[in-house]
Each structure stands twice: as structure tokens, then as C-alpha cells.
Amino acid sequence: MVFAHWVINLAMAYAALGFAFAIAFVFYGVGRIDPAAKGSPLMFRLLIFPGAVALWPLLLNRWWSGHTSPPVEQNAHRKSANSVKEAKS
Amino acid sequence: MSHVYTSVGWNRQKKIYDSTLAVGIAVYLGLFVGIGSVVHPNATIETLLIRGFGTCALLMLHIILSIGPLCRLVPRLLPLLYNRRHFGVMMFLMALAHGAFSLIQFHALGELNPLVSVLVSNCRYDSLRNFPFQPLGLVALLILFLMAATSHDFWLANLTAPIWKRLHMLVYVAYGLIVAHVVLGVLQSETNPLLAVTLGVGMVVVLGLHLLAAWRERALDAPSDATSSADGFVDVCAVEEIKLNCAKIVTLGGERVAVFKYDGKVSALSNVCQHQNGPLGEGRIIDGCVTCPWHGYQYLPDSGASPPPFAEKVPTFNVKIVNGRVLVDPKPNAPGTRVEPAKF
Amino acid sequence: MQNDHEFYVGYLSKAPGGIAVLARRAVIGLGLLTVLVALVLVFAQQRFAASFFEFGNVREFQGIVREWPVPLLVSGSTSKALVAEGKHGASSLVAGMDGLSIALRGTLIHRDGLEMIEVAENSVRVLGEADRNVSAIENLGTHTLVGEIVDSKCYLGVMNPGHTKPHRECAALCIRGGIPPLFVARDAANHSIHLWLMSETGQPVNQQVLDFVAEPMEITGQVSRIGDQMYFNASLAAYKRLP
């Protein structure tokens, strides 16, 4: 019972922090980390709100570390292409 | 694909897709609750709604999970895949309604916080028959929430497609939890075998389609037995083996490569669409661009770059034609690098 | 219809003819599946018990309060069990009123001849002294019964179904909140019998039975009757889970 209370309280605290973060993120942060979000409509900001509540540590990290555009995915071809490029330069 | 995010990039096909979905949900709930209240006059409306929303979500989840392999097997069904994300979000909303009504019905107005009550009101973890089935549903609902909340293209871009896909692969964990939630929950009480048979048929269809699609795909990912020449180029096929404006897919450099034939030329680029990692090689050349079969993202075949203002880029491969055979250098060029197409 | 040259691009307003026809057929197929599944699930559900909660119909009731073994409102030869709103028992609402004549407002819950009142908040009024004499206890002997521990409020009609596995968590929460546990068993003639489950000494066992609700149980204990209510006094050691 005590453990269950802890689990629920921790989840609530995480969600509350996420909620506060998400308000700042969807109105200010999102345009900083993704240029395609600059000038986007209110409805878009509301749509990403629940995800920002859930994944706030990840977004906070990108915002905090000053990334100005989304990361680029890595797969076998992209990694190999990058290593060839680096070897040439 | 849009330059500035919008909430939903509505188009005619999406509108048709979503309205069909809405009609389907209304028909299901109308039949289940409407006929249910006539056939079972003693049932309370809360029970009918909880069961209606839950079974609606379960049926939708089976259809959603079947669409993927079905489109691998019959690509002409791709319209079913086109707006599947909205299908998923609607399914989550049905599951959420089921969960919220159940939480209020079974856990509100008691001595405990309703969420704590879900976790502690049944502690028979030592028994399969009496196993707490509600926490299983709660965890599944959290997974479905995470998926629905990250369904916008913003999340695809910012998590990157491989991570986004891995996150969304959790749907199979959710599916397993939901099946257990149903089998260890309502099926412990309901005695009509038709209910278990219905669920069993659904599971067989989902599993069967996945196995069949995986079996068909197996050949594609086998290491290429093509011969490589002294300069490292790999002989992938004869020029005439590739249909005009289509591609042949071969596995080179640990990933699939799409070799396109168009306009008297041959170009090769990574098969993996940057949007949702769709199979570019199953796409077509439309208006001079490689067009992904999943959501229509486009790339110039010689450079692997999306036409402006879009910014997606995929790796390209050096290619040449010798004696009517297409030879591809397995070393990829950086995404967006223009490569002279081989002419035939 | 098969046309390999056709290629579907979602953002173009029209799908190629053959693909559109196939998609339409698939949608019709899924539509039929939707109707079929809805009908199968509606008709394959078990019949719902004839249990009733007269929700919205708050009435006035009068009678004599019995606090023990479970809170009852006795009127003539019939008695109605008392519970509070939500998942709470009525003990605190009638504390110290045993034997008093009272009036209260509440909502009737009933099933299989058993009646219960969900007492509206702050509605109990004492009308006067009535009868401090407790009805005679009729001892019916020691019995081993097979059945299920349910929370009486849901089982008698507030929820339907209000017992078995899907309702287990709710039953545990209700009993935790003071709603008296009822043991639903079958007699020799296979009729349902309902007995208020008590400790060996006739005390409430709410907090002790939480782990046993909604499971098939075999319990050996003393069966007795007071007025029109049956009681089952058993020690926890005499509870046996059935496989």
C-alpha cells in the first residue's frame, strides 16, 4: 500500500512538473529547438502539449543544451556515409 | 513534410479516412449500447458504456495492427495505412473512455485514491486465475497515451524516425497486456465460449498476417549474392529487370537500397524514407521525384534531397551501367549528395 | 481491375480508380466486421441479474434501527440493510441509535428479496424510543458452504454485474469502506442463499476478508437467523480458497 502511494505520488509529481514545463515549452521552447515550429498555430501547440508533459526531460535537455534544429536519425547507411565523409576531411 | 507545422495537414483523403472512421465508431457503439440495452434490460448504462468503449478499442486495435502487414502483402491497400495515426488516436480515446469510466465506477468515492486503489485492491499476484487484471489495462493505456501523444510529425522529427518507431513498437507490448487484461478479467466471469473464440480469431489474424509478411520480407534482407567488381561496385541486376519509374530493392551496406529507373537513367538511394522510415523502393517516380508509398514524401532521385522548401535528405549511391547490368557502389554518400545518374 | 501502374498518393485528391475500388471494398468489409463483432459481443454476454438500484428516486423510510450485527432498518417483520453513499458503510450514520425509531431518506436497492437503503447524507431523524429488545437468535447449526464473498451494496443492485472477477477491485474497496460483506452461496436445493459474513464472535470482518472477495470460497461456520436476515459466523482459519 505504501509502495503504491509512492508510485502514484511520483507519477503525479512527474506529470505536474511536466505540465508546468509544457506550458513554457509549447509557447516558447518549441520554436527554439525546431524552426518548423516557429509561427505555428495554437492548435498545433495544444496537440503537442500532452506529449510535452510526458517527455519533458527529453525536451528540456534539447532546449537547455541549445539545439536549434531536430536531430538527424542514424541508420547503417547514414553512419557509413558520415564515416566516409569524416575520413575524407 | 510541411515547412511550418500545422495541427493536421488536412486533405481530401484524410477527411474521407476520418469520416469513415467516425461513422464506424458511431455504428459500433450505437449497436453495442442500443441493442445491448434492449437485449439486456437489467444491465446498467455504465456497464454497457464501459464494455462498449473497451470492445470498440479492442476491435480497432486489431484492425490497426492488421493494416501494417496487410499493406506489405497487398500494397494496393495502402489507402488504409495513409491516416492510420488518426485511427490510433481514436482507438486511444476509446480506450481512455473505457479506462476513465471504469476508474470512476469501480474506484471513485472510496477510502483510497482511485489510482492507488487500482494498484492495491487486488493483490493476488500469486494466482493466474485471480491475477490483478486492472493494472495490466492501466499500463497498456499509458503506452497507448504515449503513442497518441507523440503521433504528430513534430515528434517524428524531434525523436527521429527510428526512435519514434521503436516507441510505437510498444503497441505490441500494449496488445499483449490488453489481451491478458481481457483474458484475466472479463473472460474469467463471462462463460459463453463465443467471446473467447472471437478474441482468439482476432489474435490469429494479427499474428498470422505478421508472420506471413515477415516470411515474404525475409528474402529481401538476405545478404546480396551479387558479385562485386574490382572497384567495389556490386552487380545488382540487369537494367531491364527494373520497371520504368519503379525501383529494385537490394540490401547493401547493412540496409536496403532502392535502385530507380526513370527517364533513360538509373539512380540509387537509401531505401529508408526520413519521415517514417517508409520503403522508398516500393514507391514511384512522380513528377521526377521518388515518392514514398506511405505518405508521399518526395526526393530527387539523383541527390536524395527533398525539393525545396522541404529539408529531408537520404544517402545516395554511386551507380554505373556496364553491358546492360546495373552496378552500385555499396559505400553510401552523405545524405543529399548529388550523384550523376547512370544513362542507358 | 489489377493495375500495377496505379500508385496511391494520399495528398492527391483522388485515388487511382482500381485502388479506390479496392479501398472501398476493404472499408465495406471492415464495416460488416464491425456490425458482426458488435452483434456477437452483445448476444454472447451473460444475462444480467435482476438487481435494482432506484437511482434518482429518493424516498422516506421509517423503522427501528439495529446497529448489530449489520446496520438494519426493521419495519414489522422485514428489514432493510443500511449503507451510506459512495463506497461507505452506514455504521457511523446510525451509531448509538440501536433500538430507536427513526426516519431517513434514501434510495432503495434490491435483489432476490433482499433490500437495502442507500441513506442520504444528514437525513436520519430520531423519532423516539422504540424497542431495545433484540430479536431472538435462531441457531441453524454448523455448515460448510461454497460461494463468493461480495460487497452487498454492488451485488444487490448498485452495479450490474456486481460480483465475480471483473468486479473484484470494486468489491474490495467497498468492503474496505465499511459496506458489509455478504456470502452468496447455494443451498442443498441449489437456491441462492445470502448470509451476512461475520467473525466467530459476531464482529465485522471487513478488513480481514479483502483478500478473499470475488473468489470461489469454501467456508465452514455457524449459520444463524435473526428476524428475516441470515448470518454466517466463521473464523478466518475456516476459509478455504477453491481452485
User: Would you say B319 and B266 are in contact if contact means Cβ atoms under 8 Å apart?
Assistant: yes
Chain B residues in contact with C18 by the CB 8 A cut-off are 76
User: Mapping DSSP to helix (H, G, I), strand (E, B) and coil, where does residue A85 land?
Assistant: helix
Q: What angle, rounded to 10 degrees, do the helices at B193-221 and B45-73 form?
A: 20
Residue A85 binned pLDDT confidence (cut-offs 50, 70, 90): low
C-alpha to C-alpha distance for B15 and B321, rounded to whole angstroms: 45
Say if the ipTM goes beyond 0.85: yes
C-alpha to C-alpha distance for C233 and B213, rounded to whole angstroms: 61
pLDDT value at residue C136:
87
Cα of first residue to Cα of last residue in chain C, in angstroms, is: 58
User: Where is C116: in which H helix or E strand?
Assistant: strand C114-119
Q: By the CB < 8 Å criterion, does B24 face chain C? A: yes
Here the cell at position C83 is 449503507
Name which of B300, B269, B297, B271 is nearest B153 in CA terms: B297
Helices (H), A1-89: 2-24, 30-33, 42-47, 49-54, 56-64, 76-88
Q: What is the pLDDT of residues C35-61, one digit of tens each?
A: 999 999 999 999 999 999 999 999 999
User: Would you say B309 and B292 are in contact if contact means Cβ atoms under 8 Å apart?
Assistant: no
Listed by start position, the domains of chain B span: 12-220, 234-343
| B61 Cβ neighbours under 8 A, 6+ residues apart | B91, B171, B174, B175, B178
Chain B residues in contact with A54 by the CB 8 A cut-off are 145-146, 149-150
The values of phi and psi at residue A55, to 5°, are -110, 30
Q: B283–C85: do the CB atoms touch at under 8 Å?
A: no
Which 53-72 residues of chain A touch chain B by CB within 8 A?
Answer: 53-55, 58-59, 62, 70-72
Q: B158–A70: do the CB atoms touch at under 8 Å?
A: yes
Q: C165–B133: do the CB atoms touch at under 8 Å?
A: yes
Return the exposure string of B239-259: e unless at least 16 CB atoms fall within 10 Å of the residue's CB, then b. beebeebbbbbbbbbebbbbb
Across the range C116-123, mean pLDDT stands at 97
CA distance B6 to chain A (A): 6
Q: Compare CB distances from B11 to C10, C167, C168 and report the shortest one's residue.
A: C10
User: Where is C167: in which H helix or E strand?
Assistant: none
- Provide, rounded to the nearest whole percent, the portion of chain A with pLDDT above 90: 87
User: Mapping DSSP to helix (H, G, I), strand (E, B) and coil, where does residue C82 land?
Assistant: strand
Q: What is the pLDDT of residues A15-54, one digit of tens each?
A: 999 999 999 999 999 999 999 999 999 999 999 999 999 9
Residue from B154, B168, B328 whose CB has the most chain A CBs within 10 Å, to mutate: B154
Q: B113–A70: do the CB atoms touch at under 8 Å?
A: no
Q: By the CB < 8 Å criterion, does B291 face chain C? A: yes
C-alpha to C-alpha distance for A8 and B119, rounded to whole angstroms: 9
Q: C48–B40: do the CB atoms touch at under 8 Å?
A: yes
Residue C3 binned pLDDT confidence (cut-offs 50, 70, 90): low
3-state secondary structure chain B: CCCCCCCCCCCHHHHHHHHHHHHHHHHHHHHHHHHHHHHCCCCCHHHHHHHHHHHHHHHHHHHHHHHHHHHHHCHHHCHHHHCHHHHHHHHHHHHHHHHHHHHHHHHCCCCCCHHHHHHHCCCCCCCCCCCCCHHHHHHHHHHHHHHHHCCCHHHHHHHCHHHHHHHHCCHHHHHHHHHHHHHCCHHHCCCCHHHHHHHHHHHHHHHHHHHHHHHHHHHHHCCCCCCECCCCCEEEEEHHHCCCCCEEEEEECCEEEEEEEECCEEEEEECECCCCCCEHHHCEEECCEEECCCCCCEECCCCCECCCCCCCECCEECEEEECCEEEECCCCECCCCCCCCEEC
C-alpha to C-alpha distance for C228 and B332, rounded to whole angstroms: 87
How big is chain C by its Cα radius of gyration, in Å?
26
Here the cell at position C37 is 463483432
Residue from B122, B158, B249, B270 whose CB has the most chain A CBs within 10 Å, to mutate: B158
Name which of C132, C142, C149 is nearest C194 in CA terms: C149
Paired sense of beta strands B298-299 and B265-270, if any: unpaired
- Taking the domain B234-343, which CATH number applies? 2.102.10.10
Q: By the CB < 8 Å criterion, does A88 face chain B? A: no
Q: Compare CB distances from B59 to C23, C34, C50 and report the shortest one's residue.
A: C34
Q: What is the largest CA-CA distance in chain C?
A: 93
Chain B residues in contact with A25 by the CB 8 A cut-off are none
Torsion angle, alpha carbons of C172, C177, C179, C185, to 10:
20
C137-241: which CATH topology? OB fold (Dihydrolipoamide Acetyltransferase, E2P) (2.40.50)
CA distance B59 to chain A (A): 25
Q: C30–B110: do the CB atoms touch at under 8 Å?
A: no
Here the cell at position C138 is 435462531
Residue A83 binned pLDDT confidence (cut-offs 50, 70, 90): confident
Residue from C92, C158, C168, C176 whose CB has the most chain B CBs within 10 Å, to mutate: C168
> Do A and B touch (≥3 CB pairs < 8 Å)?
yes
Name which of C49, A43, C203, C35 is nearest B26 in CA terms: C35
- Residue C232 DSSP symbol: E
Enumerate neighbours of B (3 or more CB pairs within 8 A): A, C
Chain A residues in contact with B119 by the CB 8 A cut-off are 4, 7-8
Q: Compare CB distances from C49 to B28, B36, B42 and report the shortest one's residue.
A: B42
Which 82-121 residues of chain B touch chain C by CB within 8 A?
Answer: 82-83, 105-112, 117-118, 121
Q: By the CB < 8 Å criterion, does A39 face chain B? A: yes
CB-count burial class (<10 Å; 0-12, 13-18, 19+) for C90: buried
Here the cell at position C140 is 441453524
Chain C residues in contact with B129 by the CB 8 A cut-off are 165
Q: Compare CB distances from C86 to B36, B63, B109 and report the shortest one's residue.
A: B109
The values of phi and psi at residue B316, to 5°, are -115, 170
Q: B109–C34: do the CB atoms touch at under 8 Å?
A: no
User: Would you say C182 and C232 are in contact if contact means Cβ atoms under 8 Å apart?
Assistant: no
Q: A76–B150: do the CB atoms touch at under 8 Å?
A: no
User: Mapping DSSP to helix (H, G, I), strand (E, B) and coil, where does residue C126 land?
Assistant: strand
User: Would you say B92 and B174 are in contact if contact means Cβ atoms under 8 Å apart?
Assistant: no
Q: B152–A4: do the CB atoms touch at under 8 Å?
A: no
pLDDT value at residue C2:
45
User: Where is C28: in which H helix or E strand?
Assistant: helix C17-44
C-alpha to C-alpha distance for B87 and B78, rounded to whole angstroms: 14
**Chain pair A-B, CB pairs under 8 angstroms:** 118
Chain C residues in contact with B192 by the CB 8 A cut-off are 44-46
Q: By the CB < 8 Å criterion, does B304 face chain C? A: no
- Please indicate whether residue C135 or residue A80 has the higher confidence score (pLDDT): A80
Q: B9–C11: do the CB atoms touch at under 8 Å?
A: yes
User: Where is C153: in which H helix or E strand?
Assistant: helix C152-153
CA distance B142 to chain A (A): 10
* CA atoms B120, B123, B125, B131: torsion sign: negative
| C5 Cβ neighbours under 8 A, 6+ residues apart | none
Residue C1 binned pLDDT confidence (cut-offs 50, 70, 90): very low
pLDDT value at residue C32:
98
Name which of B199, A86, A59 is nearest C41 in CA terms: B199
The yes/no answer on whether domain C51-129 falls in CATH 2.40.50 is yes
User: Would you say C210 and C182 are in contact if contact means Cβ atoms under 8 Å apart?
Assistant: no
What is the average pLDDT value for chain B, to the nearest integer? Answer: 95
Q: B20–C34: do the CB atoms touch at under 8 Å?
A: no
Q: C34–B28: do the CB atoms touch at under 8 Å?
A: yes
3-state secondary structure C176-224: HCCCCEEEEEECCCCCEEEEEEECCCCCECHHHCHHHCCCCEEEEEEEE
Chain B residues in contact with A48 by the CB 8 A cut-off are 152, 154-155
Q: C42–B35: do the CB atoms touch at under 8 Å?
A: yes
C-alpha to C-alpha distance for B141 and B95, rounded to whole angstroms: 7
Q: By the CB < 8 Å criterion, does B261 face chain C? A: no
Tally the C-alpha atoms within 13 A of residue C167's C-alpha that lie toward its C-beta: 24
Name which of C187, C197, C194, C208 is nearest C234 in CA terms: C197
| B23 Cβ neighbours under 8 A, 6+ residues apart | none
Q: A77–B149: do the CB atoms touch at under 8 Å?
A: no
Cα of first residue to Cα of last residue in chain A, in angstroms, is: 61
Q: What angle, rounded to 10 degrees, do the helices at B84-107 and B12-39 form?
A: 30
User: Would you say C195 and C232 are in contact if contact means Cβ atoms under 8 Å apart?
Assistant: yes
Chain A residues in contact with B277 by the CB 8 A cut-off are 73
User: Mapping DSSP to helix (H, G, I), strand (E, B) and coil, where does residue A67 land?
Assistant: coil
pLDDT < 50 regions, chain B: 1-2
